[in-house]
Amino acid sequence: MSLPVRPETDRQIDTLLTRFPRKGSALLPALHLIQGEKGHIPEEAMEYVAGKIGVSPAFVMGVVSFYTMFQRAPIGRHHIQVCMTLPCALRGAGGVMKHLEKRLGIRRGQTTSDGRFTLSAVECLGTCDTAPMFQVNEDEHGHLDAKKVDAILERLK
């Protein structure tokens, strides 16, 4: 059976297996590596990593489905994660989300048909002094208004 990940990823996961006092701890870092390479965690990858760690594929599915950052299906190139929790809501997060839904022509939870953007509502990202804000992939953008949002979207190809 061919590897569902690149040899380099496979080697990094092997290194992880000996990094911790118990092998099981390697699971979350391994899942981060897999998603880092593939953008999401397909079922073959879950079966593969289950074999590496020594747990069942169902166990891995349980872990993947528990944590909000792990994606089970492909998402857009730019994942726009809008914080909607109360401190951001107080400063207009609802308006930012509505504006994005209108601009992108999709509802929260969806991906644009050209695969460019996925739009998600997320919980508190721990940067409430820059509210309202969103995170695009790994980058935080705060003090948002409609104009700033449009400028950011424009830059994201």
Partner 1 sequence: MAFEPLLTRNIHKENPASIATYLASGGYQGLARVLKEFTPEAFVEEVKNSGLRGRGGAGFPCGVKWGFLPKGLDRPRYLCVNADESEPGTFKDRLLIEKDPHLVLEGIIASAYAIRCSLAFFYIRGEFHGPCRTFERAIEEARAKGFLGKNILGSGFDLDLIVYRGAGAYICGEETALLESLEGKRGLPRIKPPFPAVVGLYGCPTIINNVETLANVTLIAERGAAWFAGIGRPKNTGPKLFCLSGHVKRPGVFEAPLGIPLLELIHEHAGGMLHPDRPLKAAVPGGSSMKILPAAKCDVLMDFDSLAAVGTALGSAGGFVMDTSVCIVDALLNLARFYAHESCGQCTPCREGTGWFVKILTRLENGDGKPGDVDLLAEVASRVEGNTICPFGEAIAWPVQSYVAAFRDEFESHVTRRACPLGAAAGRS
Q: What residues make contact with partner 1 under the rule CB under 8 A?
A: 19-22, 24-29, 31-32, 53, 62-63, 66-70, 84-87, 89-91, 93-94, 97, 121-131, 135, 138, 140
Cβ nearer to partner 1, comparing 104 with 114: 104
Backbone phi, psi, residue 81, to 5°: -110, 105
Nearer to partner 1, 66 or 114 (CB): 66
Nearest-CA neighbor of 117 among 84, 144, 155?
155
For the bound state, the minimum distance from the C-beta of residue 4 to partner 1, rounded and expressed in Å, comes to 19
Select 111 or 135, whichever has its Cβ closest to partner 1: 135
Rounded to a whole number of angstroms, the minimum distance from the CB of residue 84 to partner 1 is 5
Q: How far is CA 101 from the centre of its chain?
A: 19
Shortest reach from residue 124's CB to partner 1, in Å: 4
Give 38's Cβ-side CA count (13 Å radius).
Answer: 25
Nearer to partner 1 by C-beta: 36 or 113?
Answer: 36
CB 2, min distance to partner 1, A: 25
